[in-house]
Structure 1
Amino acid sequence: MASNSNLREFNVDDFKCDPTTSVIGSGGFGDVVVGKHSQLNNVAVKVFPITGGPMDQLVMEEKILAEIGNLQKAQHDNIVQMYGWVKWFRAMGIVMECYKGGNLRQFLMRPIVQIEWALRLRIVTEIAKGIALIHNLVENLVHGDVKPENIMLTVDLHVKVGDFGSAELAAATGLTSVGSSARNREIQFTLIYTAPEKLKNITSRPRKEHDIYSFALLVYMVLTRKVPYPAISETTLINAIINGARPDCIVLEEIKSTLNDHDKEIAEKLERLMKRCWDQDPSLRPKINEIADKLQELLDKESTLEIQQQTINQSTKRNQQPERDNGPMKLAHRPMTALGIRQLKKVL
Structure 2
Amino acid sequence: MGNCFGSEETELEGVNTPGHHGQLQLQGSTTASRSLPPMSAPNARQSQGSSMSVITSRSTNGAGNISAAFLEPEEGVILEVPNLRIFTFAELKAATRNFKPDTVLGEGGFGRVYKGWVDKKTMNPTSSGVGSAMVIAVKKLKPGSSQGLEEWQCEVNFLGRMSHPNLVRLLGYCLEERELLLVYEFMAKGSLENHLFRKGSSVHPISWALRLRIAIGAARGLAFLHSSDKHVIYRDFKSSNILLDTHYNAKISDFGLVRNGPADGDSHVTTRIMGTYGYAAPEYVSTGHLYVKSDVYGFGVVLLEMLTGLRALDTARPAPQLNLVNWAKPYLADRRRLPQLVDPHLEGQYTSRAALLAAQLTMSCLAGDPKNRPSMAEVVAALEMIERMKPPPHRLISPRATARTVHGRTHARLPTRTAILH
1:263–1:14: structure 2 CA closer, same or farther, 3 Å change rule? farther
- Structure 2: how far apart are the matches of 1:165 and 1:266? 35
Which 5+ residue runs of structure 2 have no aligned equivalent?
1-40, 45-54, 58-82, 124-133, 261-270, 332-336, 392-418
Contact 2:168 / 2:185 at 8 angstroms: preserved in 1? yes
Name the structure 1 match of 2:304: 220
Q: Distance in 1 between matches of 2:229 and 2:155?
A: 11
Output aligned runs, 1:168-317, within 5 Å.
168=259, 188-201=274-287, 204=288, 206-231=290-315, 245=326, 247=328, 250=331, 252-255=338-341, 263-300=351-388, 314=422
1:151 and 2:242 are equivalent in the alignment: yes
Give identity over the alignment, percent. 25
Query: Given the two structures, how large is their TM-score scaled by the length of structure 2?
Result: 0.55
Q: Deviations over 1:190-210 (max 9, x none)?
A: 111111112213xx3643222
CA contact (8 A) 2:105 2:114 kept: yes
Q: Which has the higher contact order (CA 8 A, sep 6+)?
A: 1
Once the two structures are superposed, what CA deviation does each residue of 1:156-196 show, in whole Å capped at 9, x if it has no partner? Answer: 22211111353459xxxxxx96xxxxxxxxx8421111111
User: In the aligned structure 2, how far is the partner of 1:105 from the partner of 1:155?
Assistant: 16
Contact 1:19–1:47 under 8 Å retained in 2: no
Contact persistence 1:224–1:252 (CA under 8 A)? no
Moved over 6 A (4+): 18-21, 235-238
3-state SS of the aligned residue for 1:83? strand
Q: Which residue does 2:90 correspond to in 1?
A: 13
Amino acid at match of 2:310: K
Q: In 2, distance between residues paired with 1:20 and 1:189? A: 30
Of 25, 42, 52, the match for 2:135: 42
- TM value normalised by structure 1: 0.66
Alignment partners' CA distance in 1, 2:86 and 2:185: 15
User: In structure 2, how many angstroms separate the alpha carbons of the residues matched to 1:237 and 1:116?
Assistant: 25
Aligned-partner Cα distance in 2 for 1:76–1:167 = 16
Give, in whole Å, the separation in 2 of the partners of 1:163 and 1:142: 13
Q: Does the 8 A contact of 1:43 with 1:98 survive in 2?
A: yes
8 Å contact kept, 2:207–2:349: no
Larger of the two Rg values belongs to structure: 2
TM-superposed deviation, 1:155:
2.5
Shift in CA distance, 139/193, structure 1 to aligned 2, threshold 3 Å: same
TM alignment of 1:13-92, pairs within 5 A: 13-16=90-93, 17=96, 24-27=106-109, 30-39=110-119, 41-47=134-140, 68-92=156-180
Q: 1:35 to 1:261 in 2, by over 3 A?
A: closer
Change (3 A) 1:68 1:114: closer
**Runs of 5+ consecutive residues of structure 1 not aligned to the other structure:** 52-56, 170-175, 178-186, 304-309, 315-348
Label 1:167 to 1:73 Cα distance change in 2 as closer, same or farther (>3 A). closer
The answer on whether the counterparts of 1:31 and 1:47 sit within 8 Å (CA) in structure 2 is yes
Residue type of the partner of 2:308? T
* Displacement of 1:260: 5.7
Q: Which residue does the alignment assign to 1:109? A: 197
Note the C-alpha offset of 1:145. Answer: 0.9
Q: Within 2, Cα distance between the matches of 1:135 and 1:32?
A: 29
Question: Please, which moves more after superposition, 125-134 or 103-112?
Answer: 103-112
Cα distance, 1:49 vs structure 2: 8.3
How far off its partner does 1:139 sit? 0.6
Contact 2:105 2:115 in 1 (8 A): no
8 Å contact 2:89–2:179 — kept in the other structure?
no
Query: 1:82 Cα deviation (Å)?
Result: 1.2
Q: Deviations over 1:27-74 (max 9, x none)?
A: 2xx2342131432543223456899xxxxx9xx68x965762332232
- Secondary structure of the corresponding residue to residue 70 of structure 1: helix
Give the 3-state SS of the residue equivalent to 2:115 in structure 1.
strand
Residues 38 and 154 of structure 1: CA distance in aligned 2, closer, same or farther (over 3 Å): closer
Contact 1:117 1:266 in 2 (8 A): no
Q: Distance in 1 between matches of 2:274 and 2:112?
A: 14
The answer (yes or no) to whether the contact 1:150–1:163 under 8 Å persists in 2 is yes
